[in-house]
Amino acid sequence: MGNKLKSRSDFSTEREYMSYTKTSDFLLNYSWKGKSKETIINEMALPDFEQVYLDEAIEYLTNQNDFSGMSLDRFILKRLDEDEEADEFNPNDIIFIEREE
């Protein structure tokens, strides 16, 4: 981990910092090992809709012994994607066709 992570003070706006936290430079070098949920949310600048999956991501990745920001980000994005697909599924849209056995 040769690269030193930048902090909020290195950026003039919160938006710039949030963009930085999504770069591979940040995610590959960031470790959340031993950090509280609040600290991770703050340091990774996680928006509310990503925070929903943080507990699940922490539990899963801790069991994998993987504390990289990249893995955390990927897990959250994967869950977001899965939930989005699930939301698009509406059981009322299903048409049942009776078949003769």
* Residue ranges in the chain assigned as alpha helix (H): 14-20, 24-29, 37-43, 48-51, 54-63, 69-88
Total-model pTM = 0.80
**CA 54, CA 59: separation in Å to the nearest integer?**
9
Tens of pLDDT, residues 7-27 = 999 999 999 999 999 999 999
For residue 99, name the pLDDT band (cuts at 50, 70, 90). Answer: low
* Residue ranges in 30-68 assigned as alpha helix (H): 37-43, 48-51, 54-63
- Contact at 8 Å (CB) between 100 and 70? no
**CA 23, CA 27: separation in Å to the nearest integer?**
6
Tens of pLDDT, residues 56-94 = 999 999 999 999 999 999 999 999 999 887 766 666 666
